[in-house]
Amino acid sequence: MDEVFKMIDYFNPFEYEAANKFTVDQILDFYIEDYNYSRFIRSRRNIFLVGERGTGKTMTLLYNSLPVQQIKADRERRPIGLDLICVYIPCNTPLTHKREYQLLDDFPASVVSEHFFVLSIMHAIANTLSKVPRLLEDANETQLREDLELVLDTKLQSDRSFFEGLKMMLQREVTKAQKAINAKTADAFYENAISFSAGVMPLVTCLKKIPSLEKSHFALMLDDAHDLNPHQIKALNSWIAYRDNTIFSFKVATTKVYRPSFLTASGGQILEGHDFTMVDMEQPYQSQYSNFGKLARQVVQRRLIKIGVSKTSEKFFPANPNFEKDIEASNELARKEAERKFPNGTPKQISDYVYKYGRAEYFRQRSTRANLAPYSGFDILVHLSTGVIRNLLEPCYWMYDKVISDKHAKTTEFTHVDEIPHSVQTNVILDRSKRKWEWIREGLDKSIEGCSREQAKQLYQLFDNLAVLFRERLLKHKSEPRAIAFTISDIDYQYYHELEHLLEIARKAQILYTYTSSAKDSGKREIYYVPNRVLWPDRGLDPHGQHARVSLKARHLWAAATDNRKIPFSERDEKEKQQRGLFDEL
């Protein structure tokens, strides 16, 4: 069957590949502008876009890049505006990964590193502008060429167009520099290195002599900036610290865990708020009404349009009707309980009670039966994603794949998919949940950088014990049974740093996400730790979390990880935290 299936070419609309593998058309088709971060990209501020893999950083940058916006303008039959030139600059490249600088002393290492970085930026600018038709129409190209050759002390090939000649010159330069540092000596260096102020700034100043670009602002969008070497990061921070954002600004996409330092080359530091704005791409998903919930709906809707399905996301991924019926029945039971407890209760009090205990009641009733809940429905999928778009698309991809595969088992003619049966959803969800646990148990130390076998075992024990705790709370807790996020207290504990390091590995592995929120009782910001909700179906937990978090002591978490000790449970938390309103954003 697999052989037959491989021969069938079909389009899976839920492709969850990295965005840099998408075509321009796919980027335009799939990107949702309303709930993403375009407004930050299109500002003149320096921005750090921070989020783990799959949160949409690359997609956001690529969508806003000039070549994609050019195609968008063509589709909409309007001219492209050139007030803002968004230049996409990938940092995960073989050039960035070159490590010969490590053989050099600090100063020459920083010079060579900046040289490669600057050439990459200049090439990206030239490449981006080369895609704008008729850009040089009103320009004095001869003068432009002469000016550029003068400021960069170079010659452009006269038989090539301006931008092609510029790109070729830059390639020639980067080739010379690489050949120099590839020489088989320990101190191989390149004498003619250029800095940002000798390369990028004069280039941009020259380009602004093109009439169409006279008022343009250049947004230099660096993707995967965590791949830059330490010297390049310091150089970038120094440029950010420059803070005259008239002509250019930086939009820097980086992961949270590997987020680069904010130190500059001179030993100073760039400051959030002052030098840049930080945008956290990881959105805690709390309800269908939250921004992420709306975004998720639109993302899937767009994908369905591509396969000619006009159904809503909810209808394409219908929940098991018995599941819905039973949840509703449990909510009704909770409502009656609430009305009994609060005879004069306000509608909010009643609805809050139902929210807290309705679903928990469902899972409490299930606890006496052996089988797991029939997890299904679009709402469940969105909760399982834990606020990460790729985590939403991945199970959808495998569900669609399974339906196609099953259809072809019955007939070799391709048939239209207009729904994912709830049984398929349940099977895929449970399978992916089980695989995730298997991966934590068997695969973490084989695939996550810096994770030893011992740490992999500790992480499995930690998450296993968290699952046990959350399950016990679900079945017995008096006030917040469905809390599946936690904060950490007792940070003076002697092994707190070791625990933090373990949690950092968990974040690298994306089995744990974090976001900050305000601590109601102290007014400070505290870190919420949210285990990847895909873990919970295998353990019979409700991935539909609650607006609450459990405060856990560092010592208990450490003991759970290292000694496999159960995390203490009590039916009431020490401090009953004031619960947020149902649809409040965190």
Partner 1 sequence: MSYSGAIIMVASWEERFLFGFQRWINQSPPANALMYYYEEYAKETEKNRTQVNKLCEQKDLPLNEYKLSFNDPARSWKVLYETIKVSEMAGKRVTVDITTMPRETIWTVLDLLEEVGARVAYVYQKPERYNTEWLSRDPGRPRLVYKLAGIAQLGAPTKLIILTGYDLDRVKQLIAFFEPELSFLGIQVGDQFYNQSLNVEKHKKEFGSDPGVKLFDVDAYSNDQGFNIIEEQIKSHLEHSNFIMSSLGPKPSAVALYRLHKLHPETALAYAPSGEFNPEYSYGIGEPVVGQL
What does the binding site for partner 1 look like in residue numbers (CB under 8 A)? 2, 5-6, 17-18, 20-21, 92-95, 97-100, 102-103, 119-120, 123-124, 127, 167, 170-171, 174-175, 178-179, 182-186, 188, 443, 445-453
Question: 412 or 447, CB closer to partner 1?
Answer: 447
Buried b (16+ CB within 10 A) or exposed e, 384-397: bbbbbbbbbbbbbb
Question: 230 or 268, CB closer to partner 1?
Answer: 230
Question: 42 or 407, CB closer to partner 1?
Answer: 407
- The least distance separating partner 1 from the CB of residue 185, rounded to whole angstroms, comes to 8
- The least distance separating partner 1 from the CB of residue 446, rounded to whole angstroms, comes to 4
- The least distance separating partner 1 from the CB of residue 122, rounded to whole angstroms, comes to 9
Beta pairing, strands 512-518 & 525-531: antiparallel
Q: With CA atoms as reference, report the closest residue to 108 among 191, 171, 174, 197.
A: 191
- The least distance separating partner 1 from the CB of residue 442, rounded to whole angstroms, comes to 9
- Beta-strand runs (E) in 9-168: 47-50, 84-90
Round to whole Å and give the CA distance between 367 and 295. 34
Question: 452 or 570, CB closer to partner 1?
Answer: 452
Radius of gyration of the chain (CA): 27
Question: 17 or 328, CB closer to partner 1?
Answer: 17
What DSSP string runs through 103-140? Answer: GS-HHHHHHHHHHHHHHHHHHHHHHHHTTSTTTTTTS-
What does the block give as tokens for 245? 């954002």
Provide the residue type at 581 as one letter.
Answer: G
- The least distance separating partner 1 from the CB of residue 365, rounded to whole angstroms, comes to 40
Round to whole Å and give the CA distance between 115 and 109. 10
Tell me the backbone φ, ψ of residue 525, rounded to 5 degrees.
Answer: -90, 140
- The least distance separating partner 1 from the CB of residue 209, rounded to whole angstroms, comes to 24
Q: How far is CA 338 from the centre of its chain?
A: 39
Question: 126 or 338, CB closer to partner 1?
Answer: 126
579 three-state secondary structure: coil
What does the block give as tokens for 278? 């930080």
Backbone angle region of 503, left / alpha / beta, with phi > 0 → left and psi within -120 to 50 → alpha:
alpha
Question: 109 or 338, CB closer to partner 1?
Answer: 109
- The least distance separating partner 1 from the CB of residue 329, rounded to whole angstroms, comes to 43
- The least distance separating partner 1 from the CB of residue 217, rounded to whole angstroms, comes to 23
Question: 2 or 521, CB closer to partner 1?
Answer: 2
Question: 185 or 494, CB closer to partner 1?
Answer: 185
Beta bridge partners, 486, equal 529, 550
- The least distance separating partner 1 from the CB of residue 453, rounded to whole angstroms, comes to 6
Which helix (H) or strand (E) segment holds residue 526: the answer is: strand 525-531
Query: Is 427 in contact with 402 (CB distance < 8 Å)?
Result: yes
Residues 6+ apart with CB under 8 A from 302: 29, 30, 32
Round to whole Å and give the CA distance between 357 and 273. 41
Question: 163 or 378, CB closer to partner 1?
Answer: 163
- The least distance separating partner 1 from the CB of residue 255, rounded to whole angstroms, comes to 12
Question: 77 or 99, CB closer to partner 1?
Answer: 99
Question: 21 or 77, CB closer to partner 1?
Answer: 21
CA angle 305, 583, 551 (to 5 degrees): 115
- The least distance separating partner 1 from the CB of residue 575, rounded to whole angstroms, comes to 40
- Enter the DSSP assignment of 448: S
- The least distance separating partner 1 from the CB of residue 65, rounded to whole angstroms, comes to 13
196 three-state secondary structure: coil
- The least distance separating partner 1 from the CB of residue 393, rounded to whole angstroms, comes to 16
- The least distance separating partner 1 from the CB of residue 477, rounded to whole angstroms, comes to 38
CA angle 46, 49, 53 (to 5 degrees): 155
What does the block give as tokens for 292? 């992420």
Question: 180 or 430, CB closer to partner 1?
Answer: 180
Question: 448 or 469, CB closer to partner 1?
Answer: 448
Q: How far is CA 336 from the centre of its chain?
A: 41
What DSSP string runs through 277-336? Answer: EEEE-------TTSHHHHHHHHHHHHHHHHTT--S-HHHHSPPPHHHHHHHHHHHHHHHH
Q: With CA atoms as reference, report the closest residue to 47 among 199, 222, 201, 235.
A: 222
